[in-house]
């Protein structure tokens, strides 16, 4: 049986550590969360982040703007948050309503407060292996999970499925920084099963339910399943499943569950980034 690497448990440990760090500070850090419009999933995510911040003692302030907000108003709010010394981290929940350019909005966040790690300066620091940047939360969570089970990454073959700016590309760059041989695959990749069969580490971030089958996985591989997919279930309530057919992967060495794997780590890393941003100032 593969070891189930529980992100929920590791996230709890990280929160415990962060709680200690916050308690040692003169004043708790503040995270500003900006939510535009009424995407139901976004509201759920924001509420989870608020609760997690409260657990570790980070103050979170929500700015809810109507879907009809124009970009200039949003940019003005970001400018005010950038200038506010009482705000240590700024998160603009994606996706933004149609008509707003996410890149212009993300570019406007002060890099030192960009706790999502999406500003070009932070992306650039990650790419060059430079210090002092903020790393996107989901790939950072993947690496902290891998650190639990991998001692020496050097020369391991890692396959990343998906090349998004939020997960795939930054995860590939982090693995490269650790001296893995890294292959990035995506929708146009041919022969993906064969490529995966060569992998010591698979990071599956395609957003396709059960894409990775058991016979794509070599014995002893380590699998990080980033997927969070809703599929119809027999009792007609949708079920959450990952990108990996986990029940076929007993021969893997390690696999993260969905839910309870990467998801909770993403939130823990957001809190960690907020604390890092506050303490670097």
Min. distance of Cβ 125 from its own copies in angstroms?
A: 5
Min. distance of Cβ 109 from its own copies in angstroms?
A: 13
**Which spans of this chain sit near its own copies (rule: CB under 8 A)?**
103, 119-130, 133, 154-155, 157, 163, 165, 169, 172-173, 176, 179, 181-186, 188-190, 195
228 is in an annotated binding site: yes
Count, residues in the chain: 281
Residues 6+ apart with CB under 8 A from 13: none
Nearer to its own copies, 120 or 238 (CB): 120
163 is in an annotated binding site: yes
Nearer to its own copies, 40 or 191 (CB): 191
51 is in an annotated binding site: no
CB 105 within 8 A of CB 118: no
| Active-site residue list | 49, 93, 116
Cα–Cα distances in angstroms (integers) from residue 262 to residues 91, 177, 249, in the given order: 19, 20, 18
CB 201 within 8 A of CB 150: yes
Query: What order of strands is seen across the sheet that includes strand 30-36?
Result: 59-65, 30-36, 89-92
Nearer to its own copies, 15 or 200 (CB): 200
Q: DSSP for 49-73?
A: HHHHHHHHT-EEEEEEE-TT--HHH
Q: Which of 278, 276, 34 is nearest to 134 (CA)?
A: 276
Min. distance of Cβ 257 from its own copies in angstroms?
A: 28
Nearer to its own copies, 52 or 206 (CB): 206
162 is in an annotated binding site: yes
Min. distance of Cβ 165 from its own copies in angstroms?
A: 5
222 is in an annotated binding site: no
Distance from chain centroid for Cα 242: 15
d(CA 170, CA 163): 9
- Which residue numbers belong to the known binding site for NADP(+)? 162-164, 187, 228
């Amino acid at each position: 049986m593969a070891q189930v690497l529980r992100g929920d448990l590791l996230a709890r440990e990280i929160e415990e550590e962060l709680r200690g760090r916050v308690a040692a500070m003169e004043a708790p850090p503040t995270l500003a969360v900006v939510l535009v419009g009424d995407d139901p999933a976004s509201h759920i995510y924001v509420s989870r982040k608020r609760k997690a911040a409260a657990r570790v003692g980070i103050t979170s302030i929500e700015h809810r703007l109507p879907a009809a907000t124009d970009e200039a108003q949003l940019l003005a709010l970001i400018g005010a948050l950038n200038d506010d010394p009482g705000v240590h981290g700024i998160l603009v929940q994606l996706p933004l309503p149609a008509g707003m350019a996410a890149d212009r909005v993300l570019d406007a966040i002060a890099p030192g407060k960009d706790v999502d790690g999406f500003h070009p300066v932070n992306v650039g620091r990650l790419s060059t292996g430079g210090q002092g940047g903020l790393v996107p939360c989901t790939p950072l969570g993947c690496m902290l999970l891998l650190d639990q089970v991998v001692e020496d990454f050097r020369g391991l073959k890692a396959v990343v499925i998906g090349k998004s700016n939020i997960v795939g590309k930054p995860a590939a760059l982090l693995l490269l920084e650790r001296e893995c041989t890294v292959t990035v695959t995506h929708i146009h990749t041919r022969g993906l099963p064969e490529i995966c069969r060569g992998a010591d580490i698979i990071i599956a971030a395609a957003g396709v339910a059960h894409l990775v089958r058991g016979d794509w996985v070599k014995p002893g591989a380590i699998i990080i399943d980033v997927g969070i997919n809703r599929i119809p279930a027999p009792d007609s309530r949708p079920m959450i499943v990952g990108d990996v057919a986990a029940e076929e992967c007993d021969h893997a060495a390690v696999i993260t569950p969905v839910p309870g794997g990467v998801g909770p780590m993403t939130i823990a890393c957001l809190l960690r980034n907020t604390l890092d941003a506050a303490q670097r100032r």
